[in-house]
Amino acid sequence: MNNFQRPAWLGKDSIAPWIFLAPSAAGFILFYIIPFGMGIVYSFTDATVGGAFVGFGNYAALLNSRSFHKASMNTLLFTGISVPLLILLSLMLALLLNRQRWTRSWLQTSFILPLVVPVASITMIWQIFMDWNGALNAWMHSHSWGRIDWMQSDWSIGVVVVLYIWKNIGYDMILFLAGLQAIPVSYYESARMDGASKLRQFVHITRVYLTPTMIFVVLISIINSFKVFRETYLLAGDYPYDRIYMVQHYMNNMFFSLDIQKLTAGATLMVGCILILVFILLAIERRFQSFME
C-alpha cells in the first residue's frame, strides 16, 4: 500500500498560483537577481571580461575616493534631514485628517497626486519655480530682495528636501491614516472615561499601536529617499553643486566612465547598508510584536 502523501504546495489548488507567478518570477530573476549577482562578482575583479580576482581592492579604492566620501556624506545628510521631516509632517496630516472626516476624501486625493505625476513634469515645474529667472526669484525681486541661484548654492539641498517631501508626503500620510483607523475607537473611549488627556491618549494608545506602521513608513521613506536622484539629475545634471552630489550621482558617473568595478562596489555597499537597516527595523518590529503579545 502506497503511503506517499503529496506535499501541500503541490496540491491542485496550490499549483495555479505558482503558474501565474512564474512569468513575473522569471523576469525578476533574469533582470534583477542575476545582474545584481554578476555585479557582486565584478566588484571583486579587476575587469568585467577575463578579470582577475582582487579581493577587496575595489572596495578599498572606493573608500579612499574623495568623491565617494563627499557623495556618502551628502546622502546621509539628505536622508537624515528629509526622512524625519517627512515622517513628522505626514503623521501630523494623518492625525488631522483622522479627525476632519468630511474633508478626508478630497484631501487624500490632493496629497496623493504628486505620486502619479511624471518625473519630467515634476522637474519642469520645479525648474520654472526655482530657476534664476523663475517664479520665486521674480517674486523676491519684486520685493527688492536679491535673487538666489538656488541650485548652485547651499540652498540646493533644501530645494531637494522640499521636493522629496512634496512628492512623498501623500503616500506616507495614507499609510499613517490606515494605521490610525485600525486602532479600535473603544480604546480612546475608555481612556476618556478614565480622564486621560489628549497627550496621554497619544502617548499610551496612538504611539503604541501605530509603531508597526511607523516602522514600515520609516523603511519606505528611507528607500524612497534614494529614488530622488531622478529629479536631482534632471534639475542639476551629471555634476551638480557639491551639496547635492549624492551616491547615485557617483555611481552614474562611474557608469558613464565605464569604471564598472567602482560602480558595482558602490552599489553593493549601498544595498548592504540598506539590508542592514531593514534587518534592524524588522528586528525592532518583531520584538514589539512579541512584547504586545
Lowest mean pLDDT among 10-14, 66-70, 138-142, 271-275: 10-14
DSSP code per residue over 42-107: HTTBS-TTTPPB-TTHHHHHHHT-HHHHHHHHHHHHHHHHHHHHHHHHHHHHHHHHHH-GGGHHHH
* 160 vs 235 pLDDT, higher one: 160
Which range, of 46-55, 101-110, 219-228, averages the lowest pLDDT? Answer: 101-110
What percentage of the chain exceeds 90 in pLDDT? 9
Given a cut of 70, whether residue 271 has pLDDT beyond it is yes
Q: How confident is the model at residue 9 (pLDDT cuts 50, 70, 90)?
A: low
Res. 84 pLDDT band, cuts 50 70 90:
very high
- Domains of the chain (ranges; CATH) run 65-292 (1.10.3720.10)
Full-model pTM: 0.81
The predicted model gives 81-86 an average pLDDT of: 94
Neighbouring CB atoms inside 10 A of 282's CB total 13
Report how far apart, in Å, the C-alpha atoms of 200 and of each of 94, 183, 205 are: 18, 15, 8
pLDDT at 6: 55
Residue of higher predicted confidence among 167 and 109: 167
Beta bridge partners of 53: 45
Single-letter residue type at 101? R
- The answer to whether residues 37 and 267 touch, using CB atoms and an 8 Å cutoff, is no
Report how far apart the first and last C-alpha atoms of the chain are (Å, whole number): 46
Tell me the pLDDT of the chain averaged across its residues: 83
In the DSSP assignment, the letter for residue 196 is: -
Burial 198-225 (b: 16+ CB within 10 A, else e): eeeeeeebbeebbbbbbbbbbbebbebb
Residue whose grid cell is 579581493: 55
Instruction: Quickly state the pLDDT bin for 1 (edges 50, 70, 90).
Output: very low
Residue 236 Cα distances to 54, 71, 147, 150, 258, angstroms: 35, 15, 18, 11, 22
Angstrom distances, CA of residue 107 to CA of 69, 101, 121, 158: 41, 10, 22, 25
Distance from C-alpha of 168 to C-alpha of 177, rounded to nearest angstrom = 14
C-alpha cell at 61: 579604492
CA atoms within 13 A on the CB side of 246: 25
- Average pLDDT in the 16-40 region? 87
Asked if residues 126 and 163 have their Cβ atoms less than 8 Å apart, the reply is: yes
User: Which residues, 6+ apart, have CB-to-CB distance to 222 below 8 Å?
Assistant: 79, 83, 274, 277
